[in-house]
Chains A and B, each alone.
Chain A
């Protein structure tokens, strides 16, 4: 089975994020594959290990995004497509989905598998928009899968009030919840092999992505500014015998925060 895994290179949100003058400070950021996309890649690798086929990574991003593609190849993806794109800051999910549609039309695949959202925007819009543009069924937020073939797949979706078990005829679009798996680490051998795996570079002009399809012109929404959330005031820490500390904490909780008042 042929699986496309769209990935996004994002700032590592586990690190401290600084904001200055309404913008995120670039200096000091380190870039990684969005963690939900790594979960999707792991799932894709497991599927192809099970039934055969190939995993193709796809990213739309700047020059340095190739590092993330190499990392994914080192984890075991078979090949990668890098659409060179330097308008990330002004590009919204709608515009990304349109470019991905352009890349994928005319290509052969059974499944598009990606993270439920990207860790930079946390928007979760691109994959379902892409599914709509491609006219494909979607199943989002899956926590398990079974009965994989290149014809169909069984998916367990965590919905609001139930786990929904769905059978999807392929091709289709799936987004993953990170409880699906623990992504593997790249082995030394994997890292060596990744250097020789095919990484196709695609130019926007060659793809037929005109200037109206890029950046702010193609986007329906824009970010005006970034701010830090209001920081929480410093808390009180209680140490010692739980019988005492819990009582002290509850007393303050009642007097200061009107707990159960």
Chain B
């Protein structure tokens, strides 16, 4: 019997949308799924996972687990695999998932398929589709040997059902030791109530064309007006105009919102790979030959400093 173990992700004490998407997809395929919830003070969230459809929730709840770390999280996933008898492990391809997926697979002596955007599942036969070569090509893959299936799935490609919490059946795991050779010196949490890039339905991104931190401040209110996540190109983050967590692209966050506003972004290949899955792309750039116009549904050739105030005005009218 196939059974899926879904590794949950938490932000500010709440289950992230990428996790709910995974559980909803497993349920839609009629597959039994259990979840593993790791963090500090997160046990109360088990009922959310149960409501979504997880039949059992394994818990690793300890102050030492507040921030993701490879060693303890890998040990907890391995323990949960053992206890649940799962035949598949599903993770999200977040920064946590990118670090954890291969480590978990290697510990189980199996391979993995990462950053999957489409799945066809029949028991433990998995056909996975994943973008590669900067999203210029899609690979159709499968596991070629028997054994545990470990996959990571990109967020935004599966729908999350709206559900109510239900009383979870929980199993508490013992807390493993951290790595003796790795010490956390400091965690620079950029606490914010900003919308997360990979969960947003609208993303407004600033590129080199904004010219500096003042330009970022000029563009940001449009994101606020729209309830959108605020993104940026690599050039903006490398220049220090915005922290790296805002970066959209293969280095940074891959996004798939309903609407993506690219303001002053020329469209370097790694940026395009990270946002060209957006449903509708709106670009403003002075350079009519900018590569961003090749993927834009609505391309405005012009000055973003003139365009943004008009955009804000129109958005205000629409919202009124």
Give the B-binding residues of A (Cβ under 8 A).
11, 13-14, 17, 19, 24, 36, 92-94, 97, 116-117, 119-129, 131-133, 137-141, 143, 154, 158-169, 172, 177-179, 216, 219-229, 232-233, 235-243, 245-247, 249-250, 252-254, 257, 259-260
Q: Chain B 251-276, CB within 8 Å of chain A: the 1/0 string?
A: 10000000100000000011000001
Residue of A nearest to B96 (CB): A160
Count of chain B residues with a beta carbon within 8 Å of a chain A beta carbon = 91
What 3 A-B pairs come out closest when comparing CB atoms? A220-B111, A132-B106, A128-B102
Q: Are B99 and A172 in contact (CB under 8 A)?
A: no
Contact A131 to B299, CB < 8 A, known contacts A93-B111, A223-B141 = no
B189 to A17, Cβ gap below 8 A?
A: no
* Cβ contact of B132, chosen from A14, A121, A167, A246, cutoff 8 A: A121
How distant is the Cα of A11 from the Cα of B114 in the complex, in angstroms?
20
CB distance from A101 to the nearest CB of B (A): 10
Given contacts A159-B96, A160-B94, A237-B293, contact A242 B302 (CB under 8 A): yes
CB contact between B95 and one of A24, A160, A224 (< 8 Å): that residue: A160
Contacts of A119 in B (CB 8 A): 133-134
Instruction: List, in ascending order, chain A residues with CB within 8 A of B276's CB.
Output: 232
Chain B contact residues, majority secondary structure: mixed
- Our pick among A13, A121, A127, A159 for the contact of B68 (Cβ within 8 Å) is A159
Taking a contact as CB atoms under 8 Å apart, the answer to whether A138 and B297 are in contact is no
Chain A interface mostly helix, strand, loop or mixed? Answer: mixed
When A137-B179, A222-B144 are in contact, do A128 and B103 touch as well, CB less than 8 Å? yes
B183 pairs with A166, CB closer than 8 A: yes
Listed residue (A19, A126, A137, A219) with the most chain B CB atoms within 10 angstroms of its CB: A137
Q: In the assembly, what is the distance between CA of A204 and CA of B298, in Å? A: 53
B133 pairs with A128, CB closer than 8 A? no
Closest Cβ of chain A to B207, distance in Å, is: 15
B188 within 8 A of A: yes
Query: Do B99 and A138 have beta carbons less than 8 Å apart?
Result: yes
Is B15 located at the chain interface by the 8 A CB criterion?
no
- Given the complex of chains A and B, what is the CA–CA distance between A169 and B182 in angstroms? 6
Chain A residues near B172 (CB-CB < 8 A): none
Contact of B244 among A116, A158, A224, A232 (CB under 8 A): A158
- Complex interface: chain B residues within 8 A of A123 (CB): 114-115, 130, 132
Query: Would you call B244 and A143 a contact (CB within 8 A)?
Result: yes
